[in-house]
A and B are shown apart, each in its own frame.
Chain A
Amino acid sequence: MTQSHRINGGLVSRNQPVNFKFNNTSYVGYQGDTLASALLANGVKLVGRSFKYHRPRGILTAGSEEPNALVELRSGAHQEPNTRATTVELFEGLEAKSQNHRGPLKYDFMAINDLMSPFLAAGFYYKTFMWPKAFWEKLYEPTIRAAAGLGRLSGQEDPDSYDKGFLHCDILVIGSGPAGIAAALQAGRSGAQVILADEDFIFGGRLNSETMEVGGESSQAFAANATDELAAMPNVRLMPRTTIYGAYDHGIYGAIERKTDHLGSSNGKPRQVLWRIYSKRAILAGGSNERPIAFGNNDRPGIMLASAVRTYANRFGVLPGKRISIFTNNDDGWRTASDLAAKGAQITAIIDTRDVEPLGAFKDTAIIMGGRIIDTRGRHGVSSITLRNGQTIDTDCVAVSGGWNPNVHLTCHQRGRPQWREDIAGFVPAGEMPIGMSVVGAANGSMTLAASLNDGHLFANKIAKELGFTPSRKSAPKAEDEAAKTSAYWYVKESTARAWVDQQNDVTVKDIKLSHQEGFRSVEHLKRYTTLGMATDQGKTSNILGLAVMAEVSGKTIAETGTTIFRPPYTPVPIGAFGGRVRGKDFKPTRYTPSHTWAKENGAIFIESGMWMRAQWHPKSGETHWRESVDREVLATRKSVGICDVTTLGKIDIQGKDAAEFLNLVYSNAFGKLPVGKVRYGLMLREDGIAYDDGTTARLAENHFVMTTTTANAVLVFRRMEFVRQCLRPDLDVHLISVTEQWAQYAIAGPNARKLLEKIVDKKHNISNESFPFMACGEISICDGTPARLFRISFSGELAYELAVPTRYGDALIRELMDAGKEFDVTPYGLEALGVMRIEKGHAAGNELNGQTTALNLGLGKMVSKKKDAIGSRLSERDQMNRDDAIKLVGFKPVDSSKSLTAGAHFVTKGKEPTMAHDQGYMTSVGYSPNLKTSIGLGFIKRGDQRIGEIVTAFDGLRGTTQDVEIVSPHFIDPEGERLRA
């Protein structure tokens, strides 16, 4: 197919043809085209279907504000929905598909919605899909979701990679139109570190779309030369294809740089980079966006913004129509006419809504001043327009100019609220600007070329000076101000057909009137009721038009009506870019225990515990079920000796002469009198009196303690201890350091634990029961001089020790222990066996310290000392936390020992209905005890400690089971603690 609408000129490379496909048809464009310009060059006007009514839609704009021309780009896993054809750079082999239609684009079956439109007006969801309630989930929502919506995701994992980075600069210039490029030039010449970012792939903004003159050369040549000058400055970083999508606190800007989107393949390089730019000052030169005028059937393909038609002709060498008509309310529309006429286009008509003298004369052109288009015709593209006087004019392209909206988006990201300026009929930045931001050029209401150039030039000088740089004495590029008179004309009242305001969300003038009629009159209500401006384009072309209509029907001025504001991102940013490299396993680091390699060699099954990989159990050959392995590990440990890696526990080294006093404040129980060489179990409360964390703390020397915390709370406990140290008691002489990763630690438990240890502990240390009793600790050496710490503590309830060595010896130690333990048939045990044994012993863990339980509930009430101050001790005395019927931690056994208990079950008195009113408590931990040959559990029940022996009903609503259970002591094994002290 030939490029039927291509003309001479423009910034495309005619010696570099580019093949691409749209809806499986092959076309040719040129390097330098966008997908939109290449489609228009090939005479393709219909590019999609609208969101709600499935109306045929074409290309409206030539930039990122495009509401209509959204396509699915690429194929397979690379498929990207909702891509604006107006910003997609053409590359060899590009594939794009139109979206939001069933069947072929031209004969969309869902176009029936358009006939149903009287029923689908604003608010129809709220009114229609109310009853019956059950229909919402089953019928309405699935149907609506299938009918509406935009593009589809591939459903596959994103094969591209993304990166993140940080940039710093003195002056960030956002946008490279006349004001931006003038500002960047002056800022760069001053020697400041400058970043110039533009979403386009060439710099110059509107300069590339115009045929005006700057400094004696064409605006396009000026832009190219200025870019060259900037590129030669070492202090300037040029960032094309980079959208500044958000203005954040303290001069920080979010930017998305499209690195490889314009190439056929990323070749393994990151597709996009998300930058965080730290700027001292920012110059926003975002320019302005033209807005349409609403008139009957103004959404047909071929009806475009006048500025876009001009861009396609001047920059891309494409005439979107053969017989172009122009509908304008301002002077700028006439420039479109003269530019197009100069390119040899036939202008069939110029319709100006103003009753003023025509701004030009054109051959064979009907000029209608004070004119209105009231309707259009053409099924898949406009073919004629009808004027107010009934006159019909044949046309295949209508260039509409409704005036210009300063692009104030980024100025709203903090607290800015734009203000109406009557003379330019647009909102300009006002209110609180993001810190350090100045706005120049059209974005600030300087709507003409010379004014914009000057504005950028002068502001850059001012800012450079403020930052201590010496501005260059070069004068601003010379240009003439073009005619730019405008009028506030919004929509054609004479139109009876639907007139579109927001084409992306299918909002019409009628919808806005309906919103007003039904009482949704404030701009915020209007927006939400009609969904005006709530599509992915955030209403860049439609918001102002919409609220102008609202102002008119409510008889208020636009200034009184006010405007909604924008939030980041300026244009959509892929979620993948926010993730960057941090995805899958890279989302958070994986932490391995020192025995990991050994455990892996021996076939351990691992489980993720926080970031840690921990051995869950160690299967032996022939074991087919996890319970077989776990039961064996438990029995072997209780019979002889078992070993478990407990390195993951948090370890905090505490030193200083006030260390004991400090511990007294963070633990509810007393630590002041703990002798050197002893370990004590400690309980921490939250300040509100709820149990927080537990662990053991060993006193290695007068002023030296080592604390262990639970694995899950290691970071949080350390944070809170630093809070106590710095914010509450900086007068104490105490220092903290986390040593979790510095020490490898193993639990060695079972009746033969001491015998095993004696084989590796250096002979000079006596670890007999007399010299090293229960709760003893000490710094020792093992294996001929390897430094170690030994703690006689037990989580399993057995005679047990925890042995710590510097982490680098951790792997050697597990191998040494397993070797030395052969004669005792030593058994490594995993997290499951650890859990079973601690339930058998009745030790509370995370399930019991669940953020809802107090020391009293846990049966640890005596651990809250009343003789000293400690975090949480005062508020734990509150009456409601000390009720007589408080829940207490007890053990549970099924009456029918063949049945398993379930965690989460709630208890009710036998014979009572399982209702909230009868709730007595709940089960927290369950496991199978191979020693007792029954399922056992820990849980909380009202007055539990006084109800040992009672049978209650455990109701598990989630799993739908009910069973009778017996309340027993939580100490299933060795309640007297004889084994511990053996």
Chain B
Amino acid sequence: MIINHPLLGPRDAAEFVYLGDASLMNRPDWQSTDAGNQFYEYQYLRDNPAGELRELWYHEQGDRSWLVVTRNTLTHAISKVELARDVKLQEINSKTKTTAAAKKGKKA
């Protein structure tokens, strides 16, 4: 397979290490009330779709980027490649905004 690295261009899959479902990026909040259940689900339960899957690849023989690769598990067609850190940062930023907005709303 060829993975089109967002920074380095097309690279052979042999340069990468595979981890699995990108849901591993959504680690639960350790202080939430049912953290035990959430961590159990995070650790053990995965979807196994025949079709598009967002998954994590690590460019170990390269620049050490973790990538979120959207790949069709039936055809191996890769439709999207993102830097995991960008994906996560966006999520963190949007969460912070929502929280800030919610706080603002309360004050108002």
A binds B: yes
Whether A726 contacts B74 by the Cβ 8 Å rule is no
Whether B66 contacts A722 by the Cβ 8 Å rule is yes
Whether B40 contacts A875 by the Cβ 8 Å rule is yes
Looking at the complex, which one of B2, B36, B77 makes contact with A874 (CB distance below 8 Å)?
B36
Whether B66 contacts A877 by the Cβ 8 Å rule is no
B1 near A: Cβ within 8 Å? yes
Among B1, B84, B86, residue most surrounded by chain A Cβ atoms (within 10 Å): B84
Whether B74 contacts A415 by the Cβ 8 Å rule is yes
Say whether, besides A252-B2, A728-B88, A877-B36, A869 and B25 are in contact (CB < 8 Å): no
Task: Tell me the nearest residue of chain B to A728, going by C-beta.
Answer: B27
How many A-B pairs fall under 8 Å by CB?
74
Contact indicator per residue, chain A 824-855, by CB within 8 Å of chain B (1) or not (0):
00000000000000000000000000000000
Whether A875 contacts B39 by the Cβ 8 Å rule is yes
Whether A719 contacts B58 by the Cβ 8 Å rule is yes
Whether B76 contacts A726 by the Cβ 8 Å rule is no
A653 near B: Cβ within 8 Å? no
A414 near B: Cβ within 8 Å? yes
Task: Tell me the nearest residue of chain B to A870, going by C-beta.
Answer: B30
Task: Provide the main secondary structure of the chain B interface.
Answer: mixed
Chain A residues, Cβ within 8 Å of B36? 874-875, 877-878
Chain A 409-457 interface residues, beta-carbon cutoff 8 Å to B: 414-415, 432, 435
Looking at the complex, which one of A432, A687, A726 makes contact with B88 (CB distance below 8 Å)?
A726
Whether B19 contacts A723 by the Cβ 8 Å rule is yes
CA distance A869 to B40 in the complex (A): 15
Chain A 717-733 interface residues, beta-carbon cutoff 8 Å to B: 719, 722-723, 726-731
Looking at the complex, which one of B31, B60, B64, B84 makes contact with A727 (CB distance below 8 Å)?
B84
Chain B 5-35 interface residues, beta-carbon cutoff 8 Å to A: 12-13, 17, 19, 24-25, 27-28, 30-31, 35
B80 near A: Cβ within 8 Å? no
Contact indicator per residue, chain A 610-624, by CB within 8 Å of chain B (1) or not (0):
000000000000000
Whether A726 contacts B66 by the Cβ 8 Å rule is yes
Say whether, besides A249-B1, A688-B43, A874-B36, A730 and B85 are in contact (CB < 8 Å): yes
Task: Tell me the nearest residue of chain B to A725, going by C-beta.
Answer: B85
CA distance A731 to B77 in the complex (A): 31
A873 near B: Cβ within 8 Å? yes
Whether B77 contacts A435 by the Cβ 8 Å rule is yes
A278 near B: Cβ within 8 Å? yes
Chain B residues, Cβ within 8 Å of A415? 74-75
Contact indicator per residue, chain A 700-732, by CB within 8 Å of chain B (1) or not (0):
000000000000000000010011001111110
Task: Tell me the nearest residue of chain B to A729, going by C-beta.
Answer: B88
CB distance from B108 to the nearest CB of A (A): 27
A250 near B: Cβ within 8 Å? yes
Chain A 249-300 interface residues, beta-carbon cutoff 8 Å to B: 249-252, 276, 278
B45 near A: Cβ within 8 Å? no
B102 near A: Cβ within 8 Å? no
Whether A727 contacts B43 by the Cβ 8 Å rule is no
Whether A875 contacts B30 by the Cβ 8 Å rule is no
Looking at the complex, which one of B17, B83, B84 makes contact with A719 (CB distance below 8 Å)?
B17
Whether A874 contacts B89 by the Cβ 8 Å rule is no
Chain A residues, Cβ within 8 Å of B88? 726-730
Task: Tell me the nearest residue of chain B to A736, going by C-beta.
Answer: B64
CA distance A249 to B74 in the complex (A): 11
CA distance A877 to B30 in the complex (A): 12
Whether A875 contacts B75 by the Cβ 8 Å rule is no
Chain A 466-489 interface residues, beta-carbon cutoff 8 Å to B: none
Task: Tell me the nearest residue of chain B to A716, going by C-beta.
Answer: B17
CB distance from A186 to the nearest CB of B (A): 26
Chain A residues, Cβ within 8 Å of B89? 730-731
Chain A residues, Cβ within 8 Å of B64? 722
Name 18 interchain pairs, CB-CB below 8 A, sorted by A.
Answer: A250-B1, A250-B76, A252-B1, A252-B2, A687-B39, A719-B58, A723-B19, A723-B56, A723-B58, A723-B66, A727-B56, A727-B66, A728-B88, A730-B86, A730-B88, A730-B89, A731-B92, A875-B39
Interface residues of A (CB under 8 A from B): 248-252, 276, 278, 414-415, 432, 435, 687-688, 719, 722-723, 726-731, 869, 873-875, 877-878
Interface residues of B (CB under 8 A from A): 1-2, 12-13, 17, 19, 24-25, 27-28, 30-31, 35-36, 39-40, 42-43, 56, 58, 60, 64-66, 74-78, 83-86, 88-89, 92
The 9 closest A-B pairs by CB, nearest first: A730-B85, A869-B30, A249-B1, A726-B85, A726-B66, A249-B76, A250-B2, A874-B39, A727-B25
